[in-house]
Amino acid sequence: MSSSTSLFSPRRALIIAQSTVTQLVRMKIFYFLAPVALLFLGLQFFDAVWFEGPEALMPEQELRMHKNICLGTMMLFTSLFAIVATALLIPGDIEDRTLYTILCKPVPRLDYLLGKLFGVIAVLFVAMLVMDVLLVTTLHFRTEEKLLQTTEYMTKIGYPEREIAAGRAEMAAHGPTMILQFGVLSHFLKACVIAAVALLISTFSTSTLFTIATSVMIWIIGSFQSIARDGLFNDATFGEAPSWADKIVGTLISLIFPDFQLFESISDAAARAEDVLYSDMGHLFGLSAVYVGIYVVLSWFVFSDKEF
């Protein structure tokens, strides 16, 4: 046992990640998927009355609403899950003094932090996968049903075959497509960034409640900061030039808090079945990696000198 211990060991981080997954699974954290499943299934039986009659020629609006609700639910649950799960882990280990016994083994503190984060991300991935399967399945049946209804309706009122085919193609684009998966992926990446934020806060926080409250606040600021920045920097918005103080505040906010605008815009595009470029997804991956990397390095910086 006298071999030297490296600064970071993927194997040790993996052991802690596995333990974190076991911990979260045995905390019955996946129970939260039950109401999500019920909501997704319930949407199958919900027909928006304002799309009946002649407006039934636009059933893609109904599919869009289905996707909007499902993606919004997935975003809400994964973001909250990322915050709560991460906030429970490190302060919990400190309060229970479980951390003493772990750090008294040859475990670098970076391994511990990364292990906890990887564990939460692994559980997030599984939860997202389950919700994605539910979304794709329910949306598939819903799309098939609408395609059938629309074809029947258009045939009945005498639309030519070519227009019926075009209508079907347009509607199929609102079904379970690759673009929809980009939307799901954007929420997963956003949840990973939020988990990294919660990890940073939990390294200096003294309680789980503080970690949760602060992380939720950062999540909200991150979701709306681009709108605020537009207000501060864009002259056209309020009709007057921003002051230096406004610019400084805006820059500070953009440096301190993550900007979730890109994540949201890809999700919105997926719900509207608009094209999402692979380069946009590459940009999103890069941005997520940078955010997670920065928050992990900051967490390590705080945690490496923390005394217990």
Nearer to other proteins, 12 or 174 (CB): 12
Nearer to other proteins, 1 or 245 (CB): 1
Which segment (4-12, 171-179, 211-219, 240-248) binds other proteins by CB under 8 A? 4-12
Which segment (15-23, 53-61, 183-191, 258-266) binds other proteins by CB under 8 A? 15-23
Q: How far is the CB of 219 from other proteins (least distance, A)?
A: 27
Q: How far is the CB of 266 from other proteins (least distance, A)?
A: 36
Nearer to other proteins, 3 or 279 (CB): 3
- 15 binds other proteins, rule: CB under 8 A: yes
Measure the N-to-C terminal CA separation of the chain; round to a whole number of Å.
25
Nearer to other proteins, 16 or 270 (CB): 16
Please select the residue that binds other proteins; options are 47, 55, 96, 274, rule is CB under 8 A.
96
Q: In the range 21-60, which residues lie near other proteins by CB under 8 A?
A: 22-23, 26-27
Please work out the total of residues on this chain that contact other proteins, with binding judged by CB under 8 A: 28
Annotate each residue in 100-139 with x if it binds other proteins (CB under 8 A) or - if it does not, as one string: xxxxxxxxx-------------------------------
Binding-site ranges for other proteins (CB under 8 A): 1-5, 12, 15-16, 19, 22-23, 26-27, 96-98, 100-108, 305, 307-308
